[in-house]
Structure 1
Amino acid sequence: MSDYTLGTDLFSELDRLQRRMSGLFGGLPSSLRSSQLGTFPYINIGTTDDAIEIVAFAPGVDPAKLDISIDKGLLSISGERTTQREQSSEGTRQNARERFSGSFRRMVELPQQANPDKVQARYVDGCLLISVGKREASKPRAIAVQ
């Protein structure tokens, strides 16, 4: 039987346990491609025969304030996300704030087959869609057997 007892606030106990577990692993990512907790924006990376497709989830970001660049095989996504001051009545205190606001920068290492001259980006429904074309030499091709 355990001497450990839960307090009356189960959610605060679970939050404390989660912080302790994160501390045990040092905030290390679970894979080489994943990022540390708290990075913004979250990204998905995939490939097609012709391109590397990157989706950066950036809701609430003004597309005009986004800066995307490629230098030495690194794709950089930076910008700023501001929050709208919500209308609240006088005397209301904020108890929780989960939405990130402020400047951000996210770096993605591109594979060697990426062609930095073939990049397209668009912002749709809070998602930044970036397509980086592949070099012709790296595209799959069929070889005829003679």
Structure 2
Amino acid sequence: MFGSLTNFEGGLFDDLRRMQREIDEVFTPRAWPAAIRSVARGAYPPINIGATPKSVDVYLFAAGIDPKTLEISLQQNLLTVAGERKVTAPEQVEHYRQERFSGSFRRVITLPEDVDPDKTDARYAEGVLHVSIQRREASQPRQIEVK
């Protein structure tokens, strides 16, 4: 008998639940990063880091950036990538939601101690910056012959 009063489908109550979720997203404190050089969720550009016995490869997903404007430096074992992403939109547009990052960014990535800053290569293709840093020869595994 009262089932129809408690089972509201769509309409106003869905809108209220959606607004409550959005307000919770804005006012809920974010968790702190796990380490001093860690970044919070949503940091730009997102990165992947991989390692082999011979090199460390860093991939930064930075679509829409002019690679000539990127500042890439390697000091000791810290790789720094900085730049700016400009997203243009007509001024008359009123945004209801804007998720695409626009503005300056800077990422600092701690690399293993055995990287060789003199053997670094950076390439940008299809929105992905690939920085490859070779490891020092002395730290690479080598086969020892038994006599």
TM bucket by the smaller chain? 0.7 to 0.9
CA distance in 2, matches of 1:36, 1:137: 35
CA distance in 2, matches of 1:11, 1:123: 40
- Most deviating of 30-39 and 61-70: 30-39
CA distance in 2, matches of 1:40, 1:27: 17
Q: Is 1:111–2:112 an aligned residue pair? A: yes
CA distance in 2, matches of 1:14, 1:30: 25
Which residue of structure 1 lines up, in the alignment, with residue 84 of structure 2?
A: 80
Give 1:37 deviation, angstroms.
2.0
Gap regions ≥5 residues in structure 1: 1-6
Distance 1:11 1:34, change over 3 A: farther
For 1:126, give the aligned amino acid: G
Which residue of structure 2 lines up, in the alignment, with residue 38 of structure 1?
A: 42
The residue matched to 1:111 in structure 2 has which SS? coil
Gap regions ≥5 residues in structure 2: 1-12
For 1:65, give the aligned amino acid: T
Larger radius of gyration: 2
Would you say how many aligned residue pairs link Structure 1 and Structure 2? 135
Deviation digits for residues 64-119 of structure 1 (CA, Å, limit 9, x no counterpart): 11010011321100001001325x9xx64221111111111100011111100010
Distance 1:115 1:81, change over 3 A: same
- Compute the TM-score of the two structures, normalised by the length of structure 2: 0.78
1:48 aligned to which of 45, 52, 64:
52
- Compute the TM-score of the two structures, normalised by the length of structure 1: 0.79
1:86-105 alignment to 2 at 5 Å? Answer: 92-105=93-106
CA distance in 2, matches of 1:124, 1:140: 31
CA distance in 2, matches of 1:132, 1:32: 23
